[in-house]
Amino acid sequence: MSKSGNETVNKFFAAMQTGASAEEEMMALFHDDAVYIEPFTGKVRTHNGKIEIRTCMHDGWKYPLPDMRIEIDQLIVEGHEVFAQWTCYSPGLPGGFGKGENRFTLKDGLISRLETKILGPDQSR
């Protein structure tokens, strides 16, 4: 992965962990026509373009997890795609943590597509 791609993924996770105060940093990581697919309302939703992605992020920031910390467990690079398995720690989560995977598609160092999946305890790539 290029240095800028690595920086993009690291900046994304840093902004996610920081929350609403990192809104501008987060949104600067996405192409204007990016697609974000996420399961955080209990069903998979697709957000097209920065305006919809920003709205989705705002909804999540309304109810932040207390004392949230995200650790990247594994990064796998395949061309312009980066697969990141992560663990999110917070006392607000069942058992104190949750696992997931992000699939980033990068173009010109920015996110053009991001798909997030929540993983069960026995799932891995």
pLDDT digits (tens, 9 = 90+) for 28-39: 999 999 999 999
Q: With contact defined as beta carbons under 8 Å apart, do 32 and 49 qualify?
A: yes
> Within 10 Å of residue 102's Cβ, how many Cβ atoms?
21
Q: With contact defined as beta carbons under 8 Å apart, do 114 and 10 qualify?
A: no
- Does the global pTM surpass 0.75? yes
Question: Per-residue pLDDT for 5 more than 80?
Answer: no
Going across the sheet that includes 30-38, the strands are: 45-48, 30-38, 110-119, 97-107, 81-89, 69-78
Write down the pLDDT at residue 78: 86
Closest CA to 104 of 14, 8, 39: 8
Give me the phi and psi of 7, to 5 degrees please. Answer: -65, -40
Question: Per-residue pLDDT for 3 more than 60?
Answer: no
Domains of the chain: 3-119 (3.10.450.50)
